[in-house]
Amino acid sequence: DTQDAFKDFLDYAGIAGDTQNILIQIFSSEKKERMESIASEVSKTLPHAILIGASTAGEIISGKVIDRSTVLSISLFEKSTLHSFDACDTDSYTLGLSLSKKIFTKETKCVITFLDGLAHNGQEYLQGLEAMNFNNAIIAGGMAADMLRFEKTYTLHGNTIFSGGAVCVTLSGDDLEVLQDYNLGWRAVGPTFRVTKSDGARVYEIDNRPVKDVYEEVLGSFAVENMPASTIEFPLILQDEEMQVARSMLSVAKDGSILYGGNLEEGSEVRFGIGSRTLVNQYNPKQQLKESQNLQACFIYSCIARKMFLDKELEKNFRILENTAPTSGFFTYGEFFFNEKKTKLLNITTTLLFLREKGTKTENYKTEEKENIRNISKTDSALFNLIEYVTTALKEQEKSFKASKFKLDEFLKALDSVVIISRTDTEGIITYVNEQFEKISGYSKEELIGKPHSIVRNPDVPDEIFAEMWETITKGNIWKGEFSNRAKDGSLYYVKSSIIPIHDEHNRIIEYMAIREDVTSLVESRKKAEEAGASQAMFLANMSHEIRTPMNGILGFSELLAKTELDAAQQKYVKAIGSSTKILLDIVNDILDSSKITNKKILFEKIALNPFEEFMTTYELLKLVAQEKSINYTVFIDEKISKCLLSDATRLRQIKTNLLSNAIKFTPKFGEVKFSVSLVSEDAQSQTLLFSVQDSGIGIPEDKIKDIFKPFSQADASTTRKFGGTGLGLSISSDLIKAFGSELKVESVVGQGSRFYFTMRFDVCKEEELQEEVQSDTVCEKEEDCDKLHLEVLVAEDYDVNRMLIESIFQKYKNITLTFAANGKEAIEQIEKNSYDLVFMDINMPVLNGTDATQYIRQKLHLDVPIVALTANALEGDRDKFLACGMNAYLSKPIDVKELESILCKYSKTETQVQSLYVETLLERLKLKVGLSESVSLKLLRTFLESLKELIPELQEAMELKNTQRVYTTAHKLKGAASALYIDDISDIMLKIEQAAHKGVILECTEDMQRIYEYIKILDAAVEKII
């Protein structure tokens, strides 16, 4: 019969079987098999129709409310385009997102979607669905229902019915007009409650009480016994931005928690709602929905709770809509409404979707007025209980205000055994103390009340703390802080305080209440931990001294031995001794760095730097190492980065160098390493940059990533054997980045490579703040000049191996007289008897240490003889400490012969520099500035020297030919390479030539070129000598 009736209707409406652009919505509260059968027949009859639908809790057709039926809503579109989609997923957000990626185009104006009402969270689904809705297409529809059985709900696409998914149809067209509206008709009544425990749409506690207990108190025991059917008419109402949104109950779990038709976040304020027939029936379509606009369809998606509470009363409103356009729809478990760029999940609401195609006409079907029959709600008892509850709550609120001060006193009594409490008047005079205050302070109440609170003040606490406290509380704000107080017996105790201003009914401060927690044991534990950390740092410093002292001898004598006549095998052995000692020294330095960071002893500078030059310098330093492995080594620096930033260049370079050297180390030959710095955000005072180092290396297993930032850790124990390293580089880099206020992150795939990245905020500075680094190193011009130096040198050193080493080094200086002292006392005695040009002063010596000896020389003897610290101490602040006591310079053990010779020349009676030490000084500078080993630095210098020999003749030829572009390019290339290696003399010359060529001028640089050839000669000879 249904099939024949359907075909008769199609004949009547003139709809042929091959008609295109037909949307058929099937709404059914009948059995699944019935719905499936009808869908199959419709699909056969109209194979080109788009068919979507949902199971319902009742249907709407021609302004009437029906149930246990199946409704077919048939819409023919002449000028619009329709597409349909479906998807299934267990995760609601993922389900919405998967559809969002398919359905939205620039032309999409409207989406009608139905969602499985029991298997999914409508709010999360809408969040996913809106992800790609960039053009704000209207989204309408609702969640499938099952006549309040809460067993299984379905959606339909074509002739397929399925659970756990969603179906969509998109509408687009230039002549398509889409309008939307909604009608809540529910009033929030009673007191406000707060959701205190929830998980998405499931609520466990309201006002820290089981949610069922709150329902029983508000609606009565009868309502709770028959939940959810008996309470679905009483939703929770919350304010969601500018809309009041209802949340209806869907089901009750065995643990007493309640599942609602939408999310209720913890902290949400809600009130119980009550349906108002007056509000529902007062609704009229908006002005733009008037009949004169020739609207052609009205789809109604309304909540089942409205049907339960209002039943046939709803038809009054639906008939008004029927006079505007033909109506159809269904009763849902949650309806969708698009409101100003965001789709919301509503409950207990009627949502309306109006459609019209311009230039087309449709006959509106009218429904005859019938006498409305009002059903009496089965939950009137709950309604009356709610009204009574509201009235009682208001009366109780009045009583609560009157009893507030009494309750406060009772509350203080309850806290008496737990916290320290006192009250003072507005002048700070004590008016109340509890027993805990008496106990910790040692004073009785009689001794305290009437006295100023300063009676327990520790005079060592800075006045600024109390000034800031009074400024805060007198403004009516709560002050919080931690400080020490003094007890009656003079002992100190520590408290964490909250001082609260108390106001009268006119909002005037009448007293202050202080609530304190005794944290004495916590502070003492913290002090012990800090002392333990300091002890650890001192232990490391002492161990460093003990290790560096013999290392000084090994490294020094190996360098001296290397300068003697040795055969090939002997040279190999000496080189191995020197390399091994330097590796051990690097490990000691890494351990000390790690200790300084752990104990928060590391200090950061904030100096102006040119970010482009700074980042390129790091990149260039490791470029040659990458080239040796034929690695595709690239760099990107965002041109939007400011020309001047403030930071600690040394620590920042340490981080970049560690990450880049790691990337190159773990990337095989012919691999790829990318270094990039991008601007991610900025304001008037600062810029935030993203640093990224990406490689195509061995990668890191996912289960090992959490360990790689731990000290001495690597992803695989075999890594250390194969690639070397201590496992401290990443740990130090990560800790440094944390100290900068950021976090080092990693993405990695085994066998494909890794990406290490972090963001860092920099203050922006003015370009004029940039200053060229002043090099203070002064060396002898020629080794022969050092041989001719006339110096009287005193060395205070207690370790005989170091004395032997220093004596061996000084043997080549025929005109330097060397005297030794075994301790600080002997050094003072020697200085009192003799005149010295230079003193090397060891720090840790018996009898009298070097620091005290230096202070005596400066303060008692009033001598300004140059004194150089000679020590194996290596903790942060050592250099400043030595300089502060009157020393002029600092020489770290193991003694570097080149540094020693540089100091000799610097403090000699001649100003001539030692050109033979030029390369050695550069190597040391690279080590200090960038942390590169001597072997890597030497390779960089050799490669630069070869480039210099090749490019200088080309530069001269270009200058002779007046080819400014070629001059500019060559000078720029040489300037960058020289700057990266801190060869400032060559860099300065190339900068001058480059700037002139950029302006189209070729400089006369005969003297400069002569100087460069001298540098080439010096570099060539010195590099070969070192090798």
Strand intervals (E) in 173-308:
176-183, 186-199, 202-206, 209-210, 236-240, 243-247, 249-252, 258-260, 269-275, 297-303
Phi and psi (nearest 5°) for 874? -145, 25
Indicate the Cα dihedral angle 129, 134, 139, 143, nearest 10°.
10
Q: What is the pLDDT of residues 847-862, one digit of tens each?
A: 999 999 999 999 999 8
Residue 288 DSSP code = G
Q: What percent of the chain has pLDDT over 90?
A: 34
Q: Residues 202, 79: one domain?
A: no
Higher pLDDT, 632 or 544: 632
Indicate if 759 and 630 belong to the same structural domain. Answer: yes
Helix (H) or strand (E) holding 110, with range, is strand 108-115
- Domain identity same for 646 and 760: yes
Give the residue from 355, 357, 356, 353 showing the smallest Cα distance to 141. Answer: 353
Residues 208 and 159 in one domain: no
pLDDT at 788: 61
Report residue 136: phi and psi, to 5°.
60, 45
Helix (H) or strand (E) holding 3: helix 2-13
Name which of 1-10, 13-22, 366-375 the model is least confident about: 366-375
Query: In the chain, pLDDT over 70 holds for what percent of residues?
Result: 79
Q: In sequence order, what are the residues at sequence separation of 6 or more whose Cβ sits closer than 8 angstroms to the Cβ of residue 403?
A: none
- Residues 872-884, buried b or exposed e (16+ Cβ, 10 A)? bbbbbebbeebee
Residues 15 and 151 in one domain: yes
Residue 422 has pLDDT above 60, yes or no: yes
* 51: in domain: yes
pLDDT band (50, 70, 90) for residue 448: very high
Q: Has residue 875 got a pLDDT over 90?
A: no
Question: d(Cα 421, Cα 398) in Å, to the nearest integer?
Answer: 28
Helix axes 649-665, 611-621, angle to 10 degrees: 40
Compute the distance between CA of residue 708 and CA of residue 692 in angstroms, rounded to an integer. Answer: 17
Pick from 7-21, 286-300, 823-837: least confident: 286-300
13 and 156 both lie in a single domain: yes
The model's pLDDT over 171-228, given as tens digits with 9 standing for 90+, comes to: 999 999 998 888 877 777 778 899 999 998 899 999 999 999 999 888 888 878 888 8
Nearest Cα to Cα of residue 353 among 188, 575, 114, 165: 114
- Listed as own residue / partner, the contacts of 291-294 with beta carbons closer than 8 Å and 24 or more positions apart are 291/323, 291/324, 291/364, 293/356, 294/356, 294/361, 294/362
Answer yes or no: do 653 and 718 share one domain: yes
Instruction: Reply yes or no on whether the pLDDT at 498 is more than 80.
Output: yes
At residue 127, the 3 state secondary structure works out as helix
Categorize the per-residue pLDDT at 707 as very low, low, confident or very high, splitting at 50, 70 and 90.
confident
The token pair at 503 is 């106001």
Residue 502 resides in a domain: yes
For CA atoms 1004, 1009, 1010, 1012, give the dihedral sign: positive
Predicted pLDDT at 784: 56
Q: Say if 746 falls within a structural domain.
A: yes
Phi, psi of 377 (to 5 degrees): -65, 140
User: Residue 219 has what pLDDT?
Assistant: 85
Residue 230: pLDDT band by 50, 70, 90 thresholds?
Answer: confident
165 in the same domain as 195: no
User: Which range of residues forms the domain containing residue 448?
Assistant: 404-518
Final residue belonging to a domain, choices 769, 787, 811:
769
Say if residue 144 is in the same domain as residue 241: no
Q: Which residues contact 566 (CB under 8 A, 6 or more apart)?
A: 574
CA distance 830 to 818: 12
- Residue 627 φ/ψ, nearest 5 degrees: -65, -35
Per the CB < 8 A criterion, the answer to whether 110 and 140 are in contact is yes
Confidence grade of residue 371 (pLDDT, cut at 50, 70, 90): very low
The answer on pLDDT for 709 being more than 90 is: no
Is there a contact between 531 and 599 (Cβ–Cβ < 8 Å)? no
pLDDT of residue 471: 92
pLDDT of residue 591: 65
**In-domain check, residue 946:** yes
On whether residue 414 sits in a domain, the answer given is yes
Tokens 């809540």 belong to residue = 184
Last residue of a domain, one of 476, 492, 518: 518
Segment 477-494, tens digit of pLDDT: 999 988 899 999 999 999
1016: alpha, beta or left, given left = phi > 0 and alpha = psi -120 to 50? alpha
With respect to residue 915, please indicate whether it lies within any of the assigned structural domains. Answer: no
Q: Taking Cα atoms as reference points, which of 754, 651, 752, 677 lies closest to residue 709?
A: 754
Cis peptide bond prior to 501, omega within 30° of 0 = no
Residue 830 has pLDDT above 90, yes or no: yes
Sign of the four-CA dihedral 971, 976, 978, 982: positive
Question: What domain count does the chain have?
Answer: 5
Task: Give 374's pLDDT tier (boundaries 50, 70, 90).
Answer: very low
pLDDT exceeds cutoff 60 at 803:
yes
Among 659-673, 713-727, 760-774, which range has the highest average pLDDT? 659-673
Residue 157 and residue 202 in one domain: no
Q: Is the pLDDT of residue 604 over 90?
A: no
Domain final residue, candidates 738, 769, 800: 769
- Is the model's pLDDT at 417 over the cut of 80? no
What's the confidence (pLDDT) of residue 278?
64
Q: What is the pLDDT of residue 725?
A: 46
Based on the domain organization, do 941 and 960 belong to the same domain? yes
- Check residue 902 and give its pLDDT: 76
- Residues 6 or more apart whose CB falls under 8 angstroms from that of 787 comprise 812, 813, 814, 815
Higher pLDDT among residues 23 and 311, named by residue: 23
Q: Is 737 inside any structural domain? A: yes
CA 1018, CA 938: separation in Å to the nearest integer?
Answer: 14
Give the contacts of 132 (CB within 8 A, at least 6 positions apart).
Answer: 100, 101, 103, 104
The beta-carbon contacts of 994-997 under 8 Å, at least 24 apart in sequence, are 994/968, 997/964, 997/965, 997/967, 997/968, 997/971
Shared-domain flag, residues 258 and 153: no
CATH number at residue 220: 2.40.10
DSSP per residue over 380-446, as a string? HHHHHHHHHHHHHHHHHHHHHHHTHHHHHHHHHHHHTTTSEEEEE-TTSBEEEE-HHHHHHH---HH
pLDDT number for residue 717: 40
For the segment 643-663, the average pLDDT, to the nearest whole number, is 87
Q: Say which CATH number the domain at 974 has.
A: 1.20.120
Longest dimension (CA), the chain: 129
Helix (H) or strand (E) holding 356: strand 350-357
Mean pLDDT of 802-828: 85
Structural domain contains residue 395: no
